[in-house]
Amino acid sequence: MTSVVDPYDLLKMLEEEIKIIMSSDFEVEVTSTNQVPTTDDSGLTYPDLDNKRLKCKTVETCVLYIDIRKSTDLNISKRPKTLAKLYSAFIRSMAKAAEYWYGEVRNIVGDRLMIVFPSDLCFIRSYMCAILLCDIGRKINASLKGSEFHWGIGIDYGKMLVTKAGIKKQGKENPHYKSLVWLGPTANIASKLTDAAGKEHWYFDDDFNQLMNFKAANILITESVYKGLPNYWQEDFTVQKGIYIPQYSGTIYGYDYGSER
């Protein structure tokens, strides 16, 4: 339905709303939690312009992303029906695996899932979830009859500020206008690790004399996740070279799970 509101009037109204939200007397209440927030969480609210109040939460935990490698190539090479089956099996299976290890899916965009874990045992659960996701990927590949797809997984740990974003709508459009925003570098770093996982990377040796080639593992984790794992699981990981992640300066570790099988 086309809007009949004059764009100038809309701009003026939004300008007033922005002034209210950004004013010094607009109160933001921040509480901490060990659980994964939901859009129905009473501790999260949309901006209340009448009472000048907003509720949000912080959580310190592990975030895992997984997506399909070269999904644009799959779109071209696969028939539509086969592609629809692949994506349906991938998203459905990965979401159920996340739930098994107490992870909560908080975003699905195309072929990418964002999984957030409760703070308690988040290192162990995110690691075991990553292993299960890889096993599921191998099962899906076995059903593709001669062709295969690849995936990447990235995990980071840190504190995130969670806010409720969007606007309230009436009717069937309402769910599409609501979301949670995960502020801070943790989710972004995990997402960028996912982009880098399983791909070729180039870097110079220590003397900057020779350009080296390195293929990243299919599971990449940050140093904080690595240190949170038991020693016997740390042995699965090796230092990954040639990978640059914005906002991150620590060591990146990788486990190419499945390659040894």
Q: Which domain holds residue 81?
A: 26-255
* Chain centre to alpha carbon of residue 129: 14
The pLDDT assigned to 76 comes to 47
Q: Report pLDDT for 258.
A: 75
Residue 210 lies in a domain: yes
Q: Does residue 240 lie in a domain region?
A: yes
Per-residue pLDDT, 150? 84
Does a structural domain hold residue 82?
yes
Q: What is the pLDDT along the chain (261 residues), one digit of tens a residue?
A: 556 678 889 999 999 999 999 999 999 999 999 999 998 899 999 999 999 999 999 999 999 999 987 655 555 455 777 778 888 888 999 999 999 999 999 998 878 899 999 999 999 999 999 999 999 998 888 887 766 778 999 999 999 999 998 877 777 766 667 789 999 999 999 999 999 998 887 666 666 676 677 889 999 999 999 999 999 999 999 999 889 898 999 999 999 997 544
Give the number of other CB atoms < 10 A from CB of residue 121: 15
Instruction: Give me the torsion for CA of 127, 133, 139, 142, rounded to 10°.
Output: -100
Residue 154 located in a structural domain: yes
Count of domains observed in the chain? 1
In a domain, 93, yes or no: yes
For residue 13, how far is the Cα from the chain centroid?
A: 34
Q: What is the pLDDT of residue 200?
A: 81
* Within-domain flag for 35: yes
pLDDT at 25: 95
CATH of the domain at 143: 3.30.70.1230
Query: Cβ neighbours of residue 143 under 8 Å, at least 6 residues apart?
Result: 89
Token output for 51: 């009472």
Question: Is 5 inside any structural domain?
Answer: no
Within a domain: residue 3? no
Ramachandran area for residue 55 (φ above 0: left; ψ -120 to 50: alpha; else beta): beta
